[in-house]
Structure 1
Amino acid sequence: MTTREAFLSKIRAAQPAPRPRPEVPLFPTPEGDLKARFTAALIAMGGTCVDAAGLNDVNALLAARFPDAKVIASAVPGIDGTRPLAPDTVPASLQDVDVGVVRGRFGVAETGSVWFSEQEYIVNSVGYLSQHLVVLLDPALLVEGLQQVYRRADFTSARYAVLVTGPSATADIEGVLIRGAQGVRSLTVVWLA
Structure 2
Amino acid sequence: MSGREAILGRIRRNRPAGDFPLPDVPDFAPLVGPDLVAEFGERLKRMGGRLAEAEPGGDLPAEARDRLAQAAVIASAVPEIPGNRDLAQVALPRDLADVDVAAVRAVFGIAETGSVLFTQAELVVNAVAYLAQHLIVLLDPADILPNVQAAYRRADFASAAYAVLHTGPSATADIEGVLIHGAQGVRSLTVVLMPRVIAAS
In the superposition, the TM-score normalised over structure 2's length comes to: 0.82
Residue 17 (structure 2) pairs with residue 22 (structure 1): no
Query: Are the equivalent residues in 1 in contact too, given 2:68–2:74 (CA < 8 A)?
Result: no
- What's the CA shift for 1:18? 4.9
Root-mean-square deviation (CA), in Å?
2.3
Q: Deviations over 1:36-73 (max 9, x none)?
A: 11001100000000000378622854332354311111
The 3 A distance-change label for structure 1 pair 59 and 79 is: farther
Supply the distance in 2 between the matched residues of 1:157 and 1:19 (Cα, whole angstroms): 18
* Structure 1 residue 97 corresponds to structure 2 residue 124: no
- Cα offsets for 1:94-130 (capped at 9, x unmatched): 0011110001111111101000000000111110000
Instruction: Name 1:166's counterpart in structure 2.
Output: 168
Q: Is the 8 A contact 1:117 1:159 kept in 2?
A: yes
Is the CA contact (8 Å cut-off) linking 1:103 and 1:137 kept in structure 2? Answer: yes
Question: What is the correspondence of 1:80-159 to structure 2 with a 5 Å cutoff?
Answer: 80-86=82-88, 88-159=90-161
SS in structure 2 at match of 1:133: strand
Q: How does 1:45-84 map to 2 (within 5 A)?
A: 45-53=47-55, 57-58=59-60, 61-84=63-86
Q: Residues 143 and 56 of structure 1: is their aligned pair in 2 closer, same or farther, counting only changes over 3 Å?
A: closer
The unaligned stretches of length 5 or more in structure 1 are 1-7
Tell me the amino acid that sits aligned with residue 72 of structure 2. K
Distance 2:153 2:71 in 1: 39
Aligned to 1:187: 189
Q: Specify the code of the residue in structure 1 equivalent to 2:51.
A: C
- Give distance in 2, aligned partners of 1:61 and 1:95: 23
Decide whether the 8 Å contact of 2:77 with 2:105 is kept in 1.
yes
* Identical counterparts, % of pairs: 55
Secondary structure, in 3 states, of the residue corresponding to 1:62?
helix
CA distance in 2, matches of 1:117, 1:54: 29
Q: Which amino acid aligns with 2:153?
A: R
Question: Given the superposition, is the C-alpha separation of residues 20 and 183 from structure 1 closer, same or farther in structure 2, using an over 3 Å criterion?
Answer: same
Q: Residue 58 of structure 2 contacts residue 194 of structure 2 at CA under 8 Å; is this kept in 1?
A: no
Aligned to 1:4: none
> How many residues matched?
183
Q: Which amino acid aligns with 1:93?
A: D
| Structure of higher CA gyration radius | 1
Aligned residue for 1:57, secondary structure, equals coil
Structure 2: unaligned runs, 5 residues or longer = 1-9, 196-201
